[in-house]
Amino acid sequence: MPEVRKDIVSGRWVITGTKNVDDFLSSLKPEEKDIKKCPFCPGNEQLTRPEIYALRENPTPANTPGWSLRVIPAITGFLKIEGNLYRRGVGMYDAMDNIGAHEIIVESAEHIKNISDLSTEQIKKVLNVYKERIIDLEKDKRLKYCLIFKNQRPKSSYRVGHTHSQLVGLSATPKAIKDELANARQYYGYKERCLFCDIVNQEKLDKKRIIEENNDYLAFVPYAARFAFETWVIPKIHNPDFSQEKESSLGNLAQILKNSLQRIVKFLNDPALTYAFHTMPYLRPRPGYWHTVQKDYHWHLEICPQVTEVSGFEWGSGFQIQPLVPETCAQLLRETTI
C-alpha cells in the first residue's frame, strides 16, 4: 500500500511503495523497443482507463475515435483519487495516504513524438486543456497543488512515442514550489515588487540571456541556470496563476513554447527533456497559507534538457555544476534556425 511520507530533515514529501519488488526489478530491464499497439492512438481507447475529458469536433461517443485531444487517468498512476488523506503521525514522523489526481493529456490524435511538431493551434488547445484541468481539480478540497509536466524522450527511447503530458493534483505543495513562494514573499516584503516581474525587467535590460520574446511572453536562460540550455518562459505581465492566463495571449504562449522546444530539439539533436509549469497553489482557508501569492508570485514554465548527469558533489552539496555559461546557451539557442 503506497503512502506519502515526509522527510523531516529536508521537508520533502516522498511517495513510497508504488511498486512491488518484482515489478520494480522488471522495470530496470530494457523493454521491447517497439510497443505494438500505441495506447494513445485513436482506435486503441480500450487500452486506457475511461477518459476524463476529450475534445471532439463532432459529437462521437466517449472512448471512441473522433477526438483531437484526450485526458485519461494515468495507466500506472502513483496517486489514487478515491479515499481520505488520513494524515497521521508515526512516532516522530508524518505520513498520509497517496491521495491525488494523476492524469495523462494525450496532446494529439496523430502519432507524433514531440509536442513542438504539433501546429501552434493544436498546442494552444493543449494549453487550454491544462488550464481547464487545473480549474476543475481546484474543486477537490483535498488537493493543494496541481503540477503540469512533461517527460519527452529521445528518438532512441523505447517508451511510447506519442506526445503527451501529465498532471498531478497533490495534497501538499511541492517543496520546489514552496521554496520559490517563500523567496518571492521575502523579496516582496522588502522591495514591494514582484521578484519575477523584476527578473523580466532585468533580462530585458541585459538582453544577453533572452532567446526570444513576443508581446506577451519572454523566453530566456535564467541567470544561474542549473542545467545547460535550461529555458524559462514567463508572462511579461504579472499573473500568479497560469489557469487565469487570458485566451487572447495563449496563441503567443503556444508559439513561444513551440519555438523554444524546437530550438532545443534541433540544437541538441532531440535530447530527453522535461518541462514543468510553476504556478500558485490552490488557495485554501488555512491561517498563514500563502495568501500573499496574488502579489508576490508569478507563474512560469521551466524547460530542462536532460543532457548532463548529476554528480556526487551535486547530490551531496546542493551546488550545481553547469558546464556552459547561460549567456552562451542563450546565444546558441537564439541563433538556431527553426
263 binds Zn ion (CB under 5 A): no
Taking contact as CB under 5 A, which single stretch among the options 58-66, 91-99, 187-195, 328-336 is the one that binds Zn ion? 187-195
- Min dist. Cβ of residue 56 to Zn ion (A): 18
Q: Does 208 bind Zn ion (CB under 5 A)?
A: no
Instruction: Tell the smallest beta-carbon distance from residue 88 to Zn ion (Å).
Output: 31
Distance CA 6, CA 226 (A): 25
Cα of 199 vs its chain's centroid, Å: 21
Q: Which is nearer to Zn ion, 163 or 262 (CB)?
A: 163
CA 175-288-138 angle, 5° bins:
65
To 5 degrees, how large is the angle CA 80–CA 83–CA 86? 105
Q: What share of the chain is helix, strand, coil (3-state, %, to 5)?
A: 30, 20, 45
Minimum CB distance to Zn ion, residue 110 (Å): 8
Q: Which of residues 89-148 bind Zn ion (CB under 5 A)?
A: 111
User: Can residue 304 be called a binding residue for Zn ion (CB under 5 A)?
Assistant: no
Least distance in angstroms from the C-beta of 16 to Zn ion: 25
Q: How far is CA 291 from CA 12, 87, 234, in A?
A: 21, 23, 22
Q: Which residue in this structure is represented by grid cell 512491488?
A: 20
Whichever of 162 and 258 has its CB closer to Zn ion, that residue is 162
Of 5-13, 31-39, 89-97, 208-216: span binding Zn ion (CB under 5 A): 31-39
Smallest gap from residue 44 Cβ to Zn ion (A): 8
Query: Could you give the CA distance from residue 282 to residue 284 in angstroms, rounded to a whole number?
Result: 6
The answer to whether 164 touches 104, Cβ cutoff 8 Å, is: yes
Over the window 42 to 81, marking each residue x when it contacts Zn ion by CB under 5 A and - when it does not, the resulting string is ----------------------------------------
Looking at beta carbons only, is 124 or 278 nearer to Zn ion?
278
Query: Nearest distance from residue 3's CB to Zn ion, in Å?
Result: 27
- State how far the Cα of 262 lies from the Cα of 270, in Å rounded to an integer: 9
Nearer to Zn ion, 95 or 195 (CB): 195
The strand ranges marked E within 174-270 are 210-213, 217-220, 231-235
Give the residue with the Cβ less far from Zn ion, 88 or 111. Answer: 111
Whichever of 79 and 194 has its CB closer to Zn ion, that residue is 194
Cα dihedral 10, 13, 17, 23 in deg (nearest 10) = -90
197 near Zn ion (CB under 5 A): yes
Alpha helices in 81-146 (DSSP H): 120-137
Strands (E), 145-229: 145-152, 164-170, 210-213, 217-220
Give the Cα-Cα-Cα angle 242, 246, 252 (nearest 5 degrees): 90
Contact 166, 130 (CB under 8 A): no
Q: Does 178 bind Zn ion (CB under 5 A)?
A: no
Evaluate the CA torsion angle 136, 142, 148, 151 in order and state its sign. negative
Contact flag: residue 191 with Zn ion (CB under 5 A): no
Least gap, CB of 239 to Zn ion (angstroms):
7
Beta carbon nearer to Zn ion, 18 or 292: 292
Give the residue, chosen from 67, 145, 188, 196, that forms a contact with Zn ion under the rule CB under 5 A. 196
Instruction: Give the range of 4-12, 29-37, 182-190, 197-205 binding Zn ion by CB under 5 A.
Output: 197-205
Among 38, 85, 112, 272, the residue binding Zn ion under the rule CB under 5 A is 38
Q: Does 159 bind Zn ion (CB under 5 A)?
A: no
The contact set with Zn ion (CB under 5 A) reads: 38, 40-41, 111, 162, 194, 196-197, 238, 278, 298
